[in-house]
Amino acid sequence: MTEEGDPSPETPVPVAKSVGPPKWESTTRDQISAGLRRVVKAITALETRDAVEADTRLLVTDVLCDLLGFDKYEELTAEYSVKGEFADFGIRIDKQMTAFVEIKRVTQKLNATHLRQVENYCLKHGVSWAVLTNARHWQLYNIQSSSGEKAETNLVLEVDLLSEAIKPKDMIDTLLIFSRVGFTKGLVDEAWRQRFVSSPKALKPVVFSRPVIEEIRKELWRQQRVKVDAEIIRNSLGMMIGDE
């Protein structure tokens, strides 16, 4: 006999299941990891011979499909027409236009003029996501219409595929967000929320809120034994960080 409360020999002992990333995530990570070395080698070769933009576009297509998991025929549209202009790629997921991709020559430094191009495509088509790349450098932007043809454009992520300062795991983490599942599983939205809530625009009302001001007053009393009026603190913070 077994003591009361002890499992009998016939009772199977539960085995704790290991908790890991979902299959879609691990599959995509493996795909990125497997193809990254080949892509890095190709980028280096293109830079060495100062390849033209058309050759860069071929490599970007490989990255989008082989690393990031977009379907070349169902989800990528080359030279996508946007009211008389042509984006290098339109990315359509589940029949919904999701992002535009602007590609520049591999040795060309990405700049504000290039960003305005893809920003314009997004505004004209009502698309919130833009990718700017020269195959080596990848930038992801969130673009929102503010008034008329103006836009509120924010850099969400950027990565240099040849950077030796980035750990392989961190590189894969970033490319996972750029990937197809990054869009379908909400990773780009989460990355944008994290970037937005830590931006000056989002932080300013928090810093000037009544609870924060009161906590500052309490801390000043604890440290200095001085009672400071809330409005004085507010004005001082305004001088520090800019109070519009």
In the chain, the domains with their CATH numbers are: 23-188 (3.90.1570), 201-241 (no CATH)
C-alpha 106: how far from chain center = 21
Q: pLDDT digit string (tens) for 92-124?
A: 999 999 999 999 999 999 999 999 999 999 998
pLDDT at 90: 95
pLDDT at 151: 76
- Does 199 or 99 have the greater pLDDT score? 99
Q: pLDDT digit string (tens) for 117-174?
A: 999 999 989 999 999 999 999 999 999 887 656 778 999 999 999 999 999 999 999 9
pLDDT at 152: 86
Q: pLDDT digit string (tens) for 21-47?
A: 899 999 999 999 999 999 999 999 999
| 3-state DSSP assignment of residue 102 | strand
d(CA 98, CA 140): 12
Q: pLDDT digit string (tens) for 43-73?
A: 999 999 999 999 999 999 999 999 999 999 9
To the question of pTM greater than 0.75 for the whole model, the response is yes
pLDDT at 29: 95
pLDDT at 84: 79
Burial of 33: CB neighbours in 10 Å, binned 0-12, 13-18, 19+: middle
Q: What mean pLDDT comes out for the span 198-216?
A: 82
| 3-state DSSP assignment of residue 164 | coil
d(CA 93, CA 244): 40
H or E segment and range at residue 4: none
Q: What mean pLDDT comes out for the span 182-200?
A: 88
Checking if the pLDDT of 243 tops 60, the result is no
pLDDT at 240: 80
